Structure 1
Amino acid sequence: MSQHTVILLLGSNLGDTKKNIETAIYRFNQEVGKITNFSEFLITEPVEFVSSNIFCNIALVIRTHFSPIQLLKHIKRIENEMGRKHDSSTLGLYTDRVIDIDIVKFDNLKFVSEKLEIPHQKHLFEREFSKIILKDFI
């Protein structure tokens, strides 16, 4: 089974945001793949929506044998089980969230489907906080 190198961006702006991210990291280590590197936590204002809740973010590099679609299914399950109620791709807008996990890069793959675009263009080229947190991984 081949191993893939994946860069993920995690964020939370509800509840104990750092603990939410630490829980997601633990779940990734147990269920998805080995974390090989991670950034420092970064505290940021919400982007593309208004909220008084501040985000805590982190970037992870993982090794996994899952395909992009399999990985997305695991991500959505973890988000749901951790209490994420709304998905921005379904709603068409951003809202506060317990956990948000985005696939930024997956090997050197270029992949586009209705639910997933790799590489994640907004994180790589548009969002300043993403550029800061991903600088050591891209």
Structure 2
Amino acid sequence: MSQQEVILLLGSNLGDPKKNLELALEKLKNGNIEILKKSEFLNSPPVEFVSSNIFCNIATIILTDLSPIQLLDFVKSTEFEMGRINDSRVSGSYNDRIIDIDIVKYNELNFKSERLEVPHKKHLFDREFSKILLKNLSRKT
């Protein structure tokens, strides 16, 4: 498969969130994923659940030869390796997390399966912190 341009959104609100994000980005690079651009880090309150732990978030544009499902498997294994045990899609609710990696866009692909939907409409249209990060990412050179 040829190289695909993908937008990922990463977030963390446990431990040292910024350090968690930096480690996740390193793990992506070690997975043969090229990071083209990164937004600035952005702190934001939790969305769709209550917690006193503030999130640190970042958006990134990557190049990968993984299919959407292969990429999902890779980011889920990265989350698990970093200590994330609860998946909101499985549990049906959000909670604090050491790392969360979402596939926001995969080229211009429209894809929907039981495990993955791209584009990720909540991040593109509903969540204010996501819109700020994506706008910041589009301005980066």
> Structure 2 stretches of 5 or more lacking a match?
none
Contact kept? 1:32, 1:71, Cα under 8 Å: no
Letter of the structure 1 residue corresponding to residue 76 of structure 2: K
Aligned to 1:111: 111
TM-score scaled by length of structure 2: 0.96
Contact kept? 1:41, 1:57, Cα under 8 Å: yes
- Residues 1:25 and 1:92: Cα distance change in structure 2 (over 3 Å): same
Aligned to 1:120: 120
State how many pairs are aligned: 138
Distance 1:81 1:27 in 2: 10
TM-score scaled by length of structure 1: 0.98
Q: CA deviation at 1:32?
A: 4.0
> Structure 1 stretches of 5 or more lacking a match?
none
- Residues 1:32 and 1:48: Cα distance change in structure 2 (over 3 Å): farther
Aligned to 2:94: 94
Q: CA deviation at 1:137?
A: 3.3
Q: Would you identify which runs of 4 or more consecutive aligned residues in structure 1 move more than 6 Å?
A: none
Aligned to 2:39: 39
- Aligned residues: percent identity? 62
Q: CA deviation at 1:53?
A: 0.2
Aligned to 2:132: 132
Aligned to 2:20: 20
Distance 1:126 1:34 in 2: 28
Three-state SS of the structure 1 residue aligned to 2:53 is coil
CA-based RMSD of the aligned residues comes to 1.1
Distance 1:32 1:77 in 2: 14
